[in-house]
Each structure stands twice: as structure tokens, then as C-alpha cells.
Amino acid sequence: MRLKTLAAAITALAIGAVAPAFAAETVKVGVTTTGVPFTFVDTSSQKPTGAMVDLAQAIGAEAGLATEFEVVAFSALIPSLTTGKIDLISAGMLATDKRREVVDFSAPVYTYGEAMFVPADEPANYTLDDLKGATIGAQVGTTFADALNARGTFGEVKLYDSIADIMRDVKLGRIKAGFGDKPIVAYQIAQNPGIGLRLVDGYQPLKAGDVALAVSKENPGLLEKVNAAIAKLKESGELAKIFAKYGL
């Protein structure tokens, strides 16, 4: 009896010691609520949703990772990643050389550029040269905000925390035109016909680039898992389905 009891105890200890190894690793994913349809909050559930949220969940399922979402302002995403508050960024963020200096990016998952938008009753399809000396708006932390500033031809490039804030000021006439991620702006205008804004026809983006997920340079193992999962999702067609669900 003592031998059986001892054997049972050893078995229980062995199971207990091994069990944690099978528990899914939890990855904190940083998202922003201002990036419809990439990332936003579902008003009915008050939970993060969008194409990049679905993608992060699909990557987690493929890689055996549990995903936990943290809502972070766009401009604070990279600082949150580099300080360890989050493990992964999954948002409508372009993989630029400047950002690559501080974080590592996954394989590209989507490509887009910025759009110019004006009041719906403004008939002119402005070019950037037409806006010389005018006050325009762009979202802080975006690549095209830097590019617009670098032109040095505008009266002011006002920086905003969200595209919604830019849209408000364009509609109210506080700024001449607004600039934002084209998929996000197009989606919001299409979903809200009474918003009083329109895209400028024929505008050619200053900055077009690839959307990718970002990880800390100190976490190459996670990057490897994310890239392997993305490759499988592309091959199966699931990646395209995720973006198509949100009109992208």
C-alpha cells in the first residue's frame, strides 16, 4: 500500500510539474480605438474589435498563444511596447525605417496610404500645392504627418490625437483639409453618409506603406511565431477573409 501511495504521489507531482508547460502563453496586444476598421471598440460589447484585432486572435490561435488586448493611444503604442507594458502591436501601423530603429516588424499584412478629405459641399479637388499657406490637420504619430510638415508649404499642420477630431474641425471650417489613413477615412465616410465630408478625388498619397504587427527587439521568439502564423494564414486565405470582412 505504501508503495502504491508513493507511486501515486510521484505521479501527481510529475503531472503538476509538467502542466504549466502546456498552459498557453498570454500575449498582451496593444490596439487603438481610433483606427476603424483596423481597430475600434464595439459599442454593444465595449470590447476591442476590427480587422487587426481579428488578425491578432487568428495569429494567437495558430501559434498557441492566448491574446489579451490593451487599448492604447496610437502615439503611445510604441512606447508601451518598448517599456514592456504590451508584447505586440496590432493596429493600422505602417512599418517604416524610423520605427524599425526601435521595434521589429512582422511580415506585411496590408498596404495603404493617406487620403485628403474636405467638407462635402466643397467642390474643389485640391492638390497639395493648392493648400499653400493653409492650415491642415493630420494625426499625431503618423508617417504622413511628418511628410506634410517636411514640405514646409502650409501655414500650419495641426496634429490631432484622432481622425474623428480632424473630421470635426474640417466640417466646422477650422482647417482647410484633413489627412488620415485612407481605409479608415473611407470606411467612416461610407458608414456615416451624413458626416458632411468627402474624399478628394485624384489625391496621390505622399506615404504609402505596409501595415505590419510590431514586437520588441528583445523578443525575437515572438516575432518568429507571429511570422510563421501569418504565413499560414496567407496560404489558407484566412488573412484575406479577415480584411474583406471589414471592407478592406
- Give residue 67's Cα distance to chain centre: 15
Residue 95 identity (one-letter amino acid): A
Q: Give the residue-averaged pLDDT of 220-241.
A: 98
Q: Give the residue-averaged pLDDT of 195-200.
A: 97
- Whether the Cβ atoms of residue 211 and residue 92 lie closer than 8 Å to each other: yes
190 with 217, same domain? no
Give the pLDDT confidence of 84-124 residue by residue, as tens digits: 999 999 998 989 999 999 999 999 999 988 999 999 999 99
Residue 12 is predicted with a pLDDT of 47
Q: Which H helix or E strand runs over 27?
A: strand 25-31
Q: How many domains does the chain have?
A: 2
In this structure, is residue 5 part of a structural domain? no
Q: Identify the CATH number of the domain in which residue 90 sits.
A: 3.40.190.10
Mean pLDDT of the chain: 90
3-state SS class at 204:
coil
Give the pLDDT confidence of 16-74 residue by residue, as tens digits: 444 444 567 999 999 998 888 999 888 888 899 999 999 999 999 999 999 999 999 99
In this structure, is residue 94 part of a structural domain? yes
Give pTM, 2 decimals. 0.70
> Does the pLDDT of residue 4 top 90, yes or no?
no
166 with 204, same domain? yes
95 with 167, same domain? no
**Distance from C-alpha of 136 to C-alpha of 116, rounded to nearest angstrom:** 10
In this structure, is residue 2 part of a structural domain? no
Task: Please give the residue range of the domain that contains residue 162.
Answer: 112-208
117 with 202, same domain? yes
Grid coordinates given for 182: 485612407
Name the one residue in this structure whose C-alpha cell is 501527481.
12
